[in-house]
Amino acid sequence: MYHSNPNHNRFKFCPACGSNTLDPDSIKSFKCRECGFEFFLNCAAAAMAIILDDQNRILVTVRAKEPGKGSLDLPGGFAEPGESIDHGLVREIKEELNLDIFGLDFFCSFANAYPYKSVVYPITDMAFTCKVRDFALINPMDDVAGFRFIPVNELDINMFGMDSARKVLKKFKKYFQTLSKY
Ligand SMILES: [Zn+2]
């Protein structure tokens, strides 16, 4: 939870009247002193895929772009306007890895922030376990530079550049160890 607007210094000019009078009005909104215009920077929805192969190895990607370029990540991305979160994840995994996922099952959600070009975007991250029938056509593309299959028990959280993936994997490792006991 934020105590102040993380972009309080970023936006100054009102998009409606053009005056230099746009003030932060809450942790997620701005209001113009001059004309009363209000602007909200609401949470963007993002999804990550937890995909295991038949040897309980998790599919991770290598980030091609900043932030966190070259570090490991979970595949996924933002839902587009007008798109559901599950359809967004299916689309992202197709775009990034040329894989068709199915059987999406909600695993967990975290609040996060995504700093990009000096704007901090508030994010609602969601992680889903997903299935893949055939990995044969896997092909890293788009904002993914490569991929690896890592046994869940050998996952090193510190190799992941994004806080979002680290939070999800920490929780998933615990969950997986509990499963393995039975
Ligand atoms: Zn204004």
Within this chain, do residues 32 and 68 fall inside the same structural domain, yes or no? no
Q: Which amino acid is at 72?
A: L
Within this chain, do residues 118 and 77 fall inside the same structural domain, yes or no? yes
The CATH code of the domain that includes 22 is 2.20.25
Name the nearest CA neighbour of 152 among 54, 5, 48. 54
Report the number of distinct structural domains present in the chain: 2
Higher pLDDT, 140 or 181: 140
Q: How many residues are present in the chain?
A: 182
Within this chain, do residues 89 and 176 fall inside the same structural domain, yes or no? yes
Query: Rounded to the nearest whole angstrom, what is the distance from the C-alpha of residue 7 to the centroid of ligand 1?
Result: 18
Within this chain, do residues 56 and 78 fall inside the same structural domain, yes or no? yes
Query: Rounded to the nearest whole angstrom, what is the distance from the C-alpha of residue 147 to the centroid of ligand 1?
Result: 47
Mean pLDDT of the chain: 93
- Residue 29's domain comprises 1-42
Please count the other Cβ atoms lying within 10 Å of the Cβ belonging to residue 11: 16
Banded pLDDT at 182 (limits 50, 70, 90): low
Within this chain, do residues 161 and 133 fall inside the same structural domain, yes or no? yes
Instruction: Please state, for a pLDDT cut of 70, what percent of the chain lies above it.
Output: 99
Query: Rounded to the nearest whole angstrom, what is the distance from the C-alpha of residue 2 to the centroid of ligand 1?
Result: 25
pLDDT in tens, 11-62: 999 999 999 999 999 999 999 999 999 999 999 999 999 999 999 999 999 9
Please count the other Cβ atoms lying within 10 Å of the Cβ belonging to residue 90: 21
Distance CA 57, CA 147 (A): 12
Query: Rounded to the nearest whole angstrom, what is the distance from the C-alpha of residue 22 to the centroid of ligand 1?
Result: 7
Within this chain, do residues 14 and 83 fall inside the same structural domain, yes or no? no
The CATH code of the domain that includes 165 is 3.90.79.10
Within this chain, do residues 35 and 53 fall inside the same structural domain, yes or no? no
